Chains A and B, each alone.
Chain A
Amino acid sequence: MTISRKYVTPGELIVEGDYKPINNIIRVDDKFYATKIGLAEIGRGGIRVIPLSGPYIPRVDDPVIGKIVDYSAFSWEVDINSCFFAYLPAQNVFGRDFSPDRESLSKKFSIGDLIYAKVIAYNRTRDPLLSISGPNLGRIPKGEILKINSAKIPRLIGKKGSMIKTIESATNCKLIIGQNGIILITGPHDGILLANRAIKMVESEAHLASLTNKVQNFLSESKEV
């Protein structure tokens, strides 16, 4: 069975029959309706809608880029571009034997700092918890920040990271992508500008097929000029 795709709006009937709903689908008897605007995919695994807009809902293990907005004696509060503020406990930074008497949180991160972190715990009943232990995680020292809709991040990454690799190699920049829709670009000035335009292009044309080729053409054309 081939995968067929269709543009849908909320409430639109996708298909009737015996299928498994994966996400952004509601089922009424044997009818399946979309709950978001996006691309409906009917495949072997079931039916799902890939949304084209929507808020960022954290998931465990998501890498995110956030901004420190406040701190208390035991944790930092981080704005991760979601409907919830995330918490970064001091224990996850200083180690388990952290004591507020010995270490001061403001020395490590101050308000306004940007961090690259990972969501280590989240569910419906609690706010997301972050950690910065891992390669590349921690404070972001430099670079250009770009914000796009978080629903379009999977498109920007591409199949097995193909889209990122394309942009990175054409612009000599390094991209760090937060699942919450915030992207950090570091590299030469011209490259940053070009990468910026390429990312904006991905965002505006996220629903189109063979996007990687389009971006590739765009990048090679821009380079020649």
Chain B
Amino acid sequence: MVELIDEKGLRMDGRRVDETRPIKIEVGVLKNADGSSYIEFGKNKIIVAVYGPKEVHPKHLALPDRSILRCRYHMAPFSTDTRKHPQPSRREIEISKVISEALEPALILEEYPRTVINVYLEVLQADGGSRCAGITASAVALADAGISMRDMVVACAVGKISGKVVLDLDDTEDKEGEADMPVAIMPNLNQTTLLQLDGILTPEEFEKAFEMAVNACRHIYEVQRKALIDKYFGEDEVGEE
């Protein structure tokens, strides 16, 4: 059994229970995509490309009144310890669906009828919580593509290890721990777009965990916002009067 929290209350990588891993977001990393971003969330490294809105192929999939959102979450063969077969696995197909459903409420798809918006997430290195990092990066890439959005989407996981509620689990904590709960929110509209729970939490633990996740999301939102502002406006943050 691995000791996940030591006697000082610190986790294996030295973090406190309510601390996220360091986050870095870059905008516009791919020249040929309509919008793109790159995120480093601890050891997770994900690159996201957005193409569209564009014509739907095959054409019968197009909706007359709105755009469709297609997401593809894919892990590179070299992203994990043992080689991952490049073919989309059951898990990847499911995460693709979950990500697209987490992003959809934030997008104003009615503005682009009969079109498709494609989001490609390529996980270059994975270390637990890659779906959350993927959602966070996708929202930035969609904003970079200039697609109308009601709000940004930010995601962060919470979980339970060694009987304690902790923020942002890494791969070992996820595997050895008792529960894992990814949460995605729209920070300005105060709405939740993703809530999954793997494991068991008591109602009190859930309340506490959810609050921790929302607070972490708000912190990550500031990183997202800063990445976009830096790319589009350079240093001067205030704007002109």
User: A residues near B, CB below 8 A?
Assistant: 4-7, 9-13, 24, 26, 28, 33, 35-37, 39, 51-55, 57, 83-85, 124-125, 151, 207, 209
Contacts and interface: CB of A to CB of B under 8 A. Distances in A.
B150 A55 contact: no
A199 B146 CA distance: 20
B144 A53 contact: yes
B207 interface: no
B188 A11 contact: yes
Contacts of A83: 52-55, 112, 115
Interface stretch (B91-99, B155-163, B166-174, B231-239): B231-239
A31 to B, nearest CB: 9
B150 A7 contact: no
Given A6-B239, A7-B233, A54-B147, 17 more contacts: A7-B237, A9-B225, A11-B150, A11-B187, A33-B150, A33-B188, A37-B143, A53-B35, A54-B146, A83-B53, A83-B54, A83-B55, A84-B114, A84-B115, A124-B113, A207-B232, A209-B240
Contact of A4 (B64, B65, B106, B241): B241
Majority secondary structure, A binding face: loop
B179 interface: no
Nearest to A210: B240
A26 B189 CA distance: 11
19 contacts: A4-B241, A7-B238, A9-B143, A11-B189, A28-B189, A33-B150, A36-B143, A37-B143, A37-B146, A39-B239, A53-B144, A53-B145, A54-B147, A55-B53, A55-B146, A83-B53, A83-B115, A84-B115, A207-B233
Interface residues of B, number: 40
Contacts of A84: 55, 114-115
B152 interface: yes
A117 B151 CA distance: 36
A13 B188 CA distance: 8
Interface of B: 34-35, 52-55, 64-65, 106, 108, 111-115, 143-152, 186-189, 224-225, 228-229, 232-233, 237-241
Which 5 A/B pairs are nearest by Cβ-Cβ distance? A54-B146, A11-B151, A53-B146, A10-B149, A83-B53
A83 to B, nearest CB: 4
B218 to A, nearest CB: 12
B137 to A, nearest CB: 15
B112 A10 contact: no
A10 B229 CA distance: 11
Nearest to A3: B241
B53 to A, nearest CB: 4
Given A5-B241, A37-B143, A207-B232, A10 B152 contact: yes
Contacts of A12: 188, 225
Nearest to A6: B239
A53 B143 CA distance: 8
Nearest to A54: B146
A146 B199 CA distance: 55
A9 B55 contact: no
A35 B53 contact: no
Contacts of A207: 232-233
Given A7-B233, A52-B232, A35 B148 contact: yes
A37 B187 contact: no
Contacts of A124: 65, 113
B55 A51 contact: no
Nearest to A13: B188
A207 to B, nearest CB: 5
A102 B24 CA distance: 64
Contacts of B228: 9, 37
Contacts of B149: 10-11, 35-36
A36 B148 contact: yes
Contacts of B112: 55, 57, 83
Nearest to A28: B189
